[in-house]
Amino acid sequence: MKEVVSIIKEQFQNWGIIWRISHYEDQASYQNHYLGLAWEYLYPLIQIGIYWIVFSNGFKKGATNGGVSYLMWMVIGITPWFFMNRSVLDGSKSIYQRVNMVSKMKFPVSVLPSIKIMGNLNAFWTMLIFSIALGFFNGIYPSFAWLQWIYYFFAMVCLMFALSVFNSTVSVLVRDWQILLQSIMRMLFYLSGVLFNFQTNGFPAAFVRILQLNPFFYVINGFRQSMFNEGKIWDQPVLTLVFWGIVLFVLLVGSHLHYKFRSRFVDMI
């Protein structure tokens, strides 16, 4: 537990560095493109258009519970997914890509995953605003339930931090982990309720209960419930305990591995 406290303390102590480097990397990534940072926001919008055409029209998914359009239902779910998917994949290679740079200066390696998470927040906020605007056109207006987004956002960031600390360390130890992780995230895209409403489309109850244990599903479903005022955080105490149990376990294991091997990262790479 001391390792977890220590690694969290490093994030707060280097908050300014995390913000400045993430902002710089965002600009550097698109400096040679004509549209620049606009691609950070255009790409997810293009993806949403493709999914809507294929799964709403092609597979006739239509409306969901309560008369909510499939587009609205999908957008509010895909907003946190895009952020989590990119944060997991970018965070997993954060140490491997930058360890040579930080080895030459006094710089805590543990903040590298946080830089990637911070860098992906701009696109997340843009997508969330787009979701709210789309909601207005669908007759969905602000309610007290939207305040739950604060909790689910905090839960999402904690999950991303725990996974990034773990994955970034394992990716240095086992180079094949990065490739395997990409396949896992592709599978989770379909098993996290991003495109399909497992709870209302006739899937077996036992199958749905297993899917609900997925921490990605917990966050995505939480954003939807808050948007459509369909439930409260305390309505599912077991799933909440399972989610935070997974986050704490991954963070404990990731922090232990990180501190055990951080002094040898340069030699391993």
The parent domain of residue 182 ranges over 2-268
Element housing 224 (H / E): helix 215-228
Tokens coding 175: 């180079």
pLDDT in tens, 62-106: 445 566 788 888 889 999 999 999 999 999 988 887 766 666 666
Tell me which residue of 226, 253, 234, 98 sits closest to 167, measured CA to CA.
253
What rounded mean pLDDT belongs to the chain?
A: 83
Give the burial string for 123-145 (b: 16+ CB within 10 Å, else e): bbebbbebbbebbeeeebeeeeb
Tell me which residue of 194, 245, 248, 172 sits closest to 84, measured CA to CA.
194
Q: What is the DSSP letter of 60?
A: -
Average pLDDT over residues 179-192: 92
Average pLDDT over residues 188-205: 80
Under the banding of pLDDT at 50, 70 and 90, the label for residue 226 is: very high
How many domains would you assign to the chain? 1
Q: Which residues contact 64 (CB under 8 A, 6 or more apart)?
A: 70, 73, 197, 200
